[in-house]
Amino acid sequence: MKAHLQLRHARGKGGRRRGIALLEATVGLGGLVVISLLLLKAGMSATMAQRWTVVQGMTDSFMTTETALAKRVPFEELNGVDSRWPEYPTVSDQAVEVGRLPGGVPLVATLKRTRVPDTNNFALAGGGGTIASNPSKMEIWRLQSVLTYSLGNREYAKSRTVVRSR
C-alpha cells in the first residue's frame, strides 16, 4: 500500500508540472499575439500616413494642371456655350480620375468649375459696368475649380482661382 501512495504522489507532481508548462506556453503565446497586434497597428498607421502623402501629391499635381489649363484657355472658348467653366451660378460637375494609388486602385474625385464675372464688366460680359466706370473696356473673369475627394472616412477639398482679363 505504501508503494501505491508513492506512485500516486509522483503522478500528481508530474501532472502539476505539465499544467504549469501549458499555462506558461499559453501566457507566452498570448503575449506574442498582443505584441503582433501592436506592431500591425503601428504598421497600418505608417501606411495610412504614407497613403495620405501620396494622395496629396496626386491632387496637388492635378490642380496644378487645372490651373495651367485655366490660364491658357482662349477667351472665345471660355465665353462659349460649351465652356468648361460655365457662368455662375451654373456649376459644371464631373467625376475625374486623379491617379492610381499603390496596388492600382484608382483615386476618383469630383471636379466642379464655374466662372464669375467682374462687377465692372459690361453687360454682355456678365457685369454692370459702363463706359464711365470701365473706359478701357476690360473684361475680367474669375475661373474657379474645386476638387473634392475622400480618403478613409474624411472628405477633402482643394480649390484654385485664376483671374483672367483682356
Q: Is the pLDDT at 156 greater than 90, yes or no?
A: yes
Q: How far is CA 58 from CA 99, 108, 135, in A?
A: 6, 11, 44
At CA 148, angle to CA 62 and CA 90, rounded to 5? 100
Residue range(s) defining the domain that contains residue 31: 2-165
Q: Is the pLDDT at 142 greater than 90, yes or no?
A: yes
User: Which of 9-18, 33-42, 96-105 has the lowest average pLDDT?
Assistant: 9-18
Amino acid making up residue 126: G
Q: What is the pLDDT of residue 19?
A: 74
Q: What is the mean pLDDT of residues 64-93?
A: 93
The cell 467653366 sits on which residue? 85
Max mean pLDDT among 11-15, 57-61, 80-84, 100-104 falls in 57-61
pLDDT digits (tens, 9 = 90+) for 28-73: 888 888 888 888 777 666 566 678 888 999 999 999 999 999 999 9
pTM greater than 0.75? no
Q: How far apart (Å, rounded) are the C-alpha atoms in residues 166 and 158?
A: 27
7 or 109: whose pLDDT is higher?
A: 109
User: Which of 13-17, 24-28, 69-73 has the lowest average pLDDT?
Assistant: 13-17
Q: What is the pLDDT of residue 126?
A: 77
Overall domain count for the chain: 1
Q: What is the pLDDT of residue 38?
A: 81
Q: What is the pLDDT of residue 48?
A: 62
User: Which of 13-17, 59-63, 133-137, 147-151 has the lowest average pLDDT?
Assistant: 13-17
Residues 122, 128, 132, 138, CA torsion sign: negative
The per-residue pLDDT of the chain, averaged, comes to 85
Q: How far is CA 59 from CA 7, 31, 52, 135, 141, in A?
A: 78, 42, 11, 41, 24
